[in-house]
Amino acid sequence: MPNTKSPARRVSTYRIVQLVLGVLFAGYLLWRIYVVFIGHPTYGPDTWARFLISGIVLGSVYAVIAIGYTLVYGILRMINFAHGDIMMIGAFGGYFVFEAFKAIPAPTKANPNLNFLNAQPIISVAVAFLVGGAIAALSGYFLEKIAYRPLRTAPRLVPLISAIGASIFLENAAQLMFGSQRRDFSNPTMLTRGNGWNLHIGGSTVILTYTGVLTVVLSIILMVGLYWLVMRTRLGRAMRAVAENKQTAALMGIDVDGVISRTFIISGALAGFAGVMWGVHLGLVYFYVGFLPGLKAFTAAVLGGIGSVPGAMLGGLFLGLVESVGPGILGMSFQLADVIAFGILVLVLIFRPTGIVGEVLTEEKV
C-alpha cells in the first residue's frame, strides 16, 4: 500500500480504526450467528441445507469465472472488465447448440417425436460446453488482440477504460443481434432444472439438483485441470515466468505475446464454460447475463487475493456461500444479497487488498 511511507503516527491511527471496526463487525457477526442458530432460530436445518447447496453451486461458477480474472491480472496487472461479457458469449454459444439440437429430429420406434437433444443428451451437453468454451476463447483472443495489446505499455487507467468500452460494446452488440428478451435455456429432459436427488433433512426433503451437481463436478474438474496446467506444463511455467517479470521472461526465450494470447484463450474458455454452466443451472440467457456474475467473480478473485489461482477458487466458493447464507444470518432481505457481495468487495479492498491468500505485493506490483 502506498501509505507505508507516510509518517508512522498516521499509519497507526488508521490501523487502530481498522482494528476497532473489525472487532465490532466480528462481534456483530457472532451475535447474529448466535441469534439465528440458538436464540431465535429463523430457519430449520432443511432451509440452511438449501442455502448451502445453492451457495456451493453458485460459488463454483464464480470460482471458474474468477480464475479467468486472476490469470489475466496475474500476467498483465489489468482488470479484464469484459470478462463477464465473454461469459455471456459462451452462454449464448451453449444456448444455440441446444436450440439447434432441439430442431434436429432423431425419431426412434418408441418415440417418433424425439429430437437429437433428448436422444443423445450426453453428447449434446458435451457439445454445448465445447462450443460455448470455444466461442468464448476465440472472443477472448480477439479481445486481447484488438483492445488490449496495443495498450500494453500505456498507463494503467488506459487499458481499464478500453476494457470497459469493450464490455459495453459486447453487451450492446449482443443485445442488437440477439434481441433483449430473456431466453430459456432448453436443457435435455434428463437435466430438467429443479429435478434431482431428494435428501431428507430435518423432516423435509431437500432437492440436490442434477444441474447443480453437474456444475460443481465440472468446475472441480476445470479447476484441477487448470491448476495442473499452470503448475506442471511448459505453458504454465511460461505463464508464471511472464507474470513474474516480462522482460526477464523474454530474455529467457519466452514468447511473451504468445503466452499472453494463450492466457486470454484459456481464461476465455473458462468463462465460456462458466457461461454454459450458468445457463444450464439457472436457465436464463440474455445480453446482460454476464455483468453481475462478472463483477461478483471479480470480487471473488480479489477476496482470494487477485493473481493467485487457489485464491480465486476459495474466494469464489466463499462469495457464493456468503451470498446465499449471508442474508439469512444477517437477517436482511434476500433482495440485498448483491449488496452483501458488493459490500464485501468494498470492505476487502479497503481493509485487506491482498485478499485471503494474498501474495505480499512488492513496490513494483503496487
- Interface segment toward other proteins; rule CB under 8 A; list 2-10, 49-57, 110-118, 205-213: 2-10
| Single-letter code of the amino acid located at 325 | V
- Contact characters 147-176, other proteins, x per CB under 8 A: x--xxxxxxxxxxxxx-xxxxxxxxxx--x
Could you give the string, one character per residue 40-79, with x where binding to other proteins holds by CB under 8 A and - elsewhere? -------------------------------------xxx
> Residue 138 interacts with other proteins (CB under 8 A)?
no
Task: Please list, residue by residue across 7-20, b when 16 or more beta carbons sit within 10 angstroms of its beta carbon and e when fewer do.
Answer: eeeeeeeeeeeeee
Q: Which is nearer to other proteins, 71 or 206 (CB)?
A: 71
* Alpha-helical regions (H) of 77-156: 83-103, 116-119, 121-143
Cell reading at 60: 463454483
Report, in angstroms and rounded to the nearest whole number, the Rg of the chain calculated over CA atoms.
22
Nearer to other proteins, 52 or 158 (CB): 158
Binding residue for other proteins, selected from 178, 196, 240, 330, defined by CB under 8 A: 178
Which residue number, 217 or 346, has a Cβ lying nearer to other proteins? 346
Task: Confirm or reject binding of residue 343 to other proteins (CB under 8 A).
Answer: yes
DSSP state of 354: T
Q: Binder to other proteins among 138, 295, 321, 330 (CB under 8 A)? A: 295
| Closest distance to other proteins from the beta carbon of 235 (Å) | 21
Which helix or strand (DSSP H or E) is residue 297 part of? helix 291-304
* Contact yes or no for 129/215 (Cβ under 8 A): no
Q: How far apart are CA 39 and CA 109, in angstroms?
A: 61
Report the residue number, 160 or 201, with the smaller CB distance to other proteins. Answer: 160
Distance CA 285, CA 186 (A): 11
Contact between 61 and 289 under an 8 Å Cβ cutoff? The reply is no
Count of residues interacting with other proteins (CB under 8 A)? 62
Supply the minimum distance, in Å, between the C-beta of residue 259 and other proteins: 14
- Does the footprint of other proteins cover residue 249 (CB under 8 A)? no
Place of cell 439469512: 328
CB nearer to other proteins: give 84 or 212.
84
Please state, in angstroms and as integers, the Cα–Cα distance from residue 320 to each residue in 57, 60, 62, 275, following that order: 8, 8, 7, 16
Beta bridge partners of 184: 284
Q: For binding to other proteins (CB under 8 A), which residues are involved?
A: 1-3, 5-6, 77-79, 96, 99, 146-147, 150-162, 164-173, 176-180, 246-247, 291, 295, 298-299, 302, 332-333, 335-336, 338-339, 342-343, 345-346, 349-350, 353, 364, 366
